[in-house]
Structure 1
Amino acid sequence: MKIVDCHVHVYPPEVISDWERIAEGEPYFGVLARSKVHKWATVEDVIAQMDADGIEQSFIFGFAFSDLSLCKLCNDYVISAVKSYPDRLKGLAVLPPLAKGALREIERCKEEGLVGVGELFPQGQDFDIADARETWRLAAACHETGMFLLIHTAEPVGHDYPGKGNVGPKEAAAFCLNHPEVRVIFAHFGGGLWVYELMPEMKLALSNAYYDTAAAPLLYEPEIFKAIEASGLTHKFLYGSDYPILSMARYKKLFNRFEGNESFFKSIFFDNFKKFCAL
């Protein structure tokens, strides 16, 4: 079975070696880098893990810093990686949406072959995805370039953890209502946003929304996949590992407990990506 992973973090060697100094000026990055579950990964680490896990293709991205120059460093690294492994990797651009020059960076990364923007951190980068005044330029740039968005979201209840943030279903839904023209993947199950697609008006409002499974073993019991299947929303979910924090081994344990049918896994592992990228 073909497998695509839409949520993979990579770090330039310069960031890994100098992370403590960088963290002094990037508080959100510091919180995540000091987390007990945090791990570093270079492009070579990603390719090696893909080979070990049987992953055909990964969507990779750097860290979405508040400093545009640091984001450009990450983007250059991703651009180089995609050119080195064109059949294995697709790249996303990171940037602070409200920074001067951010829109030009989207255009540059599109010209260099990247396909999306993200994973963006609304709280860590201090922008409100529910406020159209703060998002319309980002949305317009993505729409004009044909790039999709990947945005960090989290569940508004449950245990806290480093980097969880305060952006969840309400804010994500507002973004979709404001920008129906933008394809957007909400990380980490959209913080539960998908459940509201069972409301007829929200199903329409969230027509442009998709969800990834990143961090599932740390957040949910396997029954969540039964609920997704029962809701008829399997077609809107994409497998995302959140590597290097997690790899396929942890997901296999969760999926084995779910005991889903082959069509479910075929959808989230590959078929949905094919449809999403063709939109």
Structure 2
Amino acid sequence: MTPVIDVHVHVYPEQFVRDQELISKREPHFDLLTHNRVHKWGTADQLIRRMDETGVEQSWIFGFAFRDPGLCAICNDYVIDAVRRYPGRLKGFASVSPLTRGFTAEAERCADAGLIGIGELFPQGQNFDLGDRRQTWRLAAVLEERRLLLNVHTAEPVGHDYDGKGNVGPKEAAAFCLNHPGVRVIFAHFGGGLWLYETMPEMKLALKNARYDTAAWPFLYDARVLAAAKAAGALDKMLYGTDWPILDRERFASRLRGCGLDEREKEAFMGGAAARLLAERER
């Protein structure tokens, strides 16, 4: 059986819990996302225990994408330490603020320490335009040079509102891919529906290096969304991600039972596709 890989997991150093109110005064997006009814804190050690309980072999972990590069560096130190303490079980992504001076040096430091990507970035929360090449070319350059993956928060442009949804959706995500076709990017939360446009021949080509994670699936879509992605020819680009500690594998069980995929397709979705992406990156 293919090992389960969760590609969308957040972990937080304990000092962020202690300093939540102080940080919130400086970081509006952190304030928004940590002061609501669904937010939960989780450490790397707690994550490993939960992975063992729910049968998850590997998690790809992020900190929090702050505007302040100093806070990003604290996240990165924590993620680097966690990956070193749990080799093989955890793969790490770096937090950077793409419009701040020196962010590429921080990305390089994290790559040198063994992290595999950058993310989950919050374009609205970090005050940068994902679709503006003038604001993203430095980010794309370090991603390509160091063969790093990118995870970016995206959301559906219709439907109910929620804290942290933001205004970055398929249009902005597609523009990023058109501007930087060589970047291997994972658009969080189903890419806000961007996968649908893989049925357009020119967009299929433009999105050749795009993937889509399923973080927060139970909050967003019913079980049929994966069957729809299959019909659109994009199922092989869907990566299992939960958004732990907000949600975990158990909350996805009913969606997986009703998703309409056969066992081989489920195994690919739950880990095989992520393993292939990692192998591509390491070649």
Q: Is the shorter-chain TM-score for this pair beyond 0.5, marking a shared fold?
A: yes
Deviation at 1:277, TM superposition (A): 1.1
Deviation at 1:273, TM superposition (A): 1.2
Q: CA deviation at 1:231?
A: 2.1
State the TM-score, normalizing by the size of structure 2.
Answer: 0.97
Q: Are 1:59 and 2:54 counterparts?
A: no
The 2-side partners of 1:241 and 1:166 are apart by: 21
Asked if the contact 2:227–2:260 (Cα under 8 Å) also holds between the matched residues in 1, the reply is no
Supply the AA of the counterpart residue of 1:147. L
Q: How many residues align?
A: 279
Please give the alpha-carbon distance, in whole angstroms, between the structure 1 residues aligned to 2:113 and 2:154: 27
Q: CA shift at 1:258, angstroms?
A: 2.3
Match of 1:68 in 2: 69
Q: Residue 241 of structure 1 aligns with which residue?
A: 242
Tell me the amino acid that sits aligned with residue 278 of structure 1: A
Question: Could you report, residue by residue, the CA deviation over 1:179-224 in whole angstroms, capped at 9, with x for unpaired residues?
Answer: 0111000000000000000001110111111000001000001111
Quick one: which amino acid aligns to residue 175 of structure 1? F
Name the SS of the counterpart of 1:175 in structure 2. helix
What pairs up with 1:207-226 in 2 under 5 angstroms? 207-226=208-227
Q: Which residue of 2 aligns with 1:254?
A: 255
Q: CA deviation at 1:157?
A: 0.3
Q: Distance in 2 between matches of 1:138 and 1:260?
A: 36
2:212 aligned counterpart, secondary structure: strand
SS in 2 for 1:258: coil
Helix, strand or coil for the counterpart of 1:58? strand
Cα shift readout 1:27-67 (whole Å, capped 9, x = no counterpart): 01100000100000001111011011100000001000010
User: Structure 1 regions of 5+ residues with no counterpart?
Assistant: none
1:26: which partner in 2? 27
Over the residues paired in the alignment, what is the CA RMSD in angstroms?
Answer: 0.8
Show the counterpart of 2:191. Answer: 190
Partner of 2:146: 145
Given that 1:123 and 1:166 are in contact with CA atoms closer than 8 Å, whether structure 2 keeps it comes out as: yes
Instruction: Give the residue type in structure 2 aligned to 1:131.
Output: D
Runs of 4+ in 1 over 4 A off after TM superposition: none
Paired-residue identity, %: 56
Instruction: Quote the offset at 1:259 in angstroms.
Output: 4.3
Structure-1 residue corresponding to 2:120: 119
Name the CA distance, whole Å, in 2 between partners of 1:259 and 1:193. Answer: 21
Structure 2 letter corresponding to 1:146: R
Deviation at 1:5? Answer: 0.4
State the TM-score, normalizing by the size of structure 1.
0.99
**Is the CA contact (8 Å cut-off) linking 1:229 and 1:264 kept in structure 2?**
no
